[in-house]
Structure 1
């Protein structure tokens, strides 16, 4: 029993770490490019829920929160700031000596403030509000960085247009959106490279020739470096395997001879090798390769794996839509179960699954569905084509509906994952 307990503790740590790293780095991508683009970023949080501790630097409140499954970033002006204060609703406000609004919020959160009814609000271009007071409708300027009380203890600032996401040109807004998925792709490449550095990467240098195999018959020797196959360059082991399979295929069912060029003692030699078929119908020639842990080889191979897995994942999305293979989908519970299974095989298996999850998170977010990064990019594309902005309130409503549907879909997938576990 103690061993089982230890395993599940390790599994819980692995699940939290994988989700936290993948999601937090996604949000950090948005955060970093937003900051570099001059957008005010009031909040960057690691985790969700109540704050364990926080600090403020450069106008941003950084916090670590109780539930460590991810994180979030809050950027000024992602949606029009006035949407917080609908016309006809009550608002509490505080004024400075110049009769500028310095604090806004719900009356229940600001019991000592003035209270009025919003009649007009422009918090994007002019930073002003018209409020119906006991003396009639009055128009107030809103001081830049006036605080909006989200609750009795938490607030965010109202900023001028040049510090809002909506106030930035299209290319900067697109860069901010793309930065999240790009961070996921970079993380996946780094993790794949780390795994390759630990496990090693096969090279095209022969380490062993199996006896009584086509390679031995052809005269191949340990130390030979395979540089060409059928007069086409070979760059890595995976390419060699794929070329052997495709180059030896025939309509008769018998493998075709291959011209393999090796470098031996600084001299190129070309030999003819006819593969033999395994019981599974796979052509082989009977060699093992030298494995290298050199980062100069393992890091590029990690990013090559990123490109390969991206293509395979896109093919999977295609099959999902065309062939309705929805059983292949997994939600958070299914992903957590996969991570748990990988814990049984060791640390580096968890690192690999973290890379796969990061890659999938980046690709999924680029799907042009409202509420996802891809949906926001779609609206930017529409704006580019139309030459004018889509009504922010209409866009916000579309994203809200998209988010609601995604949450419903997530609930359905989670229910299915849970029923499969028990």
Structure 2
């Protein structure tokens, strides 16, 4: 299998569609928040784009050119007074109007609005998730939950699917626990133990709430090789629904707990970047890895997609708040430095710092994409 075939096998059309939708919504509300806070303070916005690169569609409305661009990797708003001005002599100078003329608090409000609205969307989605689906409490051990099916495996041929639940083997319900070879094992492992011997096997399976029996002949070893049915198991979690106030409170707690975890993931990414370590990191995914995760989530349930949207919005909010020039957090730092000095940085200083930060972010994006692709070699 070549690289392109490997990537195609990892993704699904529905997964790609959901990926574009989730990223598109997160990007749109992020840029819309910047736009709204700028217009609220009387600052003009020249353009608003979803996507980057060549413009596919454009329409002027309320003094702004609204664009849909080719590359679905982000978006931007061109706010008056953020970019250098033409000095009329073929060069550029520091802007003096629009954003540049605002007080420090006004500039920070515009810059902070994007990450903040992603954070608020994540909290809102978590609140919905905890109140409608519930919070996980206990994992049932008397059932074997199928979290995934290996492509082309015997399990796939038998019609087993991700999300199915095995409740019995050979007519015997799975126990909470059982003892074998002096070990106390969870009941769902009885399925694996039953497949360690030859014979005719019957699995009782719940598919979308409907029970059915699947009977098949099984050889545990073929040519000295242990055979695999092709099932990936996961814990069967039970959920308890929360009231909306309790769900909101729980969402704030989870967000606070997620911050250090996300920062550690970013720290690990930067460490791999500076050491050119292309080994896979499960905590940070590139565009292909993200689309792969969304494809798996789309095959499970709508709530799995909601959880992916929560994680993506949290990551987008926290990443943009990193104090790296070119990101919202880095721009906020420059504004605060200027406020503490009593005057903004010089045009040359600000341009050099912003360019260095932007180059770092672009190099980091290229690194993540390259690391994403190398998984398939």
TM-score between the two structures when normalised by the length of structure 1: 0.56
Q: Which residue of 1 aligns with 2:246?
A: 297
CA–CA distance in structure 1, aligned partners of residues 253 and 55 of structure 2: 41
Q: Which residue of 2 aligns with 1:332?
A: 287
Would the aligned equivalents of 1:79 and 1:166 in 2 still touch at CA under 8 Å?
no
Task: Name the SS of the counterpart of 2:263 in structure 1.
Answer: helix
CA–CA distance in structure 1, aligned partners of residues 55 and 315 of structure 2: 29
Q: CA deviation at 1:342?
A: 1.9
CA–CA distance in structure 2, aligned partners of residues 333 and 71 of structure 1: 18
Q: CA deviation at 1:39?
A: 1.1
CA–CA distance in structure 2, aligned partners of residues 320 and 42 of structure 1: 34
Per the alignment, do residues 24 and 421 of structure 1 end up closer, same or farther by CA in structure 2, a change over 3 Å counting? farther
Per the alignment, do residues 53 and 315 of structure 1 end up closer, same or farther by CA in structure 2, a change over 3 Å counting? closer
Q: Which residue of 2 aligns with 1:386?
A: 341
Per the alignment, do residues 394 and 416 of structure 1 end up closer, same or farther by CA in structure 2, a change over 3 Å counting? same
Q: Which has the higher contact order (CA 8 A, sep 6+)?
A: 2
TM-score between the two structures when normalised by the length of structure 2: 0.62
Per the alignment, do residues 279 and 322 of structure 1 end up closer, same or farther by CA in structure 2, a change over 3 Å counting? farther
Q: Which residue of 1 aligns with 2:57?
A: 52
Aligned Cα RMSD in Å? 3.4
Per the alignment, do residues 64 and 122 of structure 1 end up closer, same or farther by CA in structure 2, a change over 3 Å counting? closer
CA–CA distance in structure 1, aligned partners of residues 293 and 238 of structure 2: 31
CA–CA distance in structure 2, aligned partners of residues 378 and 45 of structure 1: 25
Unpaired runs of 5+ residues, structure 2, are 1-7, 139-183, 187-236
Deviations 1:189-233 (A, max 9, x none): 112222223312369xx9xxxxxxxxxxxxxxxxxxxxxxxxxxx
Would the aligned equivalents of 2:133 and 2:239 in 1 still touch at CA under 8 Å?
no
- Following TM superposition, where does structure 1 have runs of at least 4 consecutive aligned residues deviating by more than 4 angstroms? 65-69, 121-125, 317-327
* 1:299-378 map, 5 Å: 299-317=248-266, 327-328=280-281, 329-378=284-333
CA–CA distance in structure 1, aligned partners of residues 240 and 319 of structure 2: 34
Aligned length: 269
Task: Name the SS of the counterpart of 1:330 in structure 2.
Answer: coil
Q: Does 2:192 align with 1:187?
A: no
CA–CA distance in structure 1, aligned partners of residues 48 and 270 of structure 2: 35
Q: Which residue of 2 aligns with 1:247?
A: none
Task: Name the SS of the counterpart of 2:45 in structure 1.
Answer: coil
CA–CA distance in structure 2, aligned partners of residues 360 and 290 of structure 1: 25
* 1:250-269 map, 5 Å: none
Would the aligned equivalents of 2:111 and 2:332 in 1 still touch at CA under 8 Å?
yes
Per the alignment, do residues 304 and 415 of structure 1 end up closer, same or farther by CA in structure 2, a change over 3 Å counting? same
Q: CA deviation at 1:170?
A: 0.7
Q: Does 2:75 align with 1:71?
A: yes
Q: Which residue of 1 aligns with 2:25?
A: 21
CA–CA distance in structure 2, aligned partners of residues 181 and 8 of structure 1: 30
CA–CA distance in structure 1, aligned partners of residues 263 and 185 of structure 2: 31
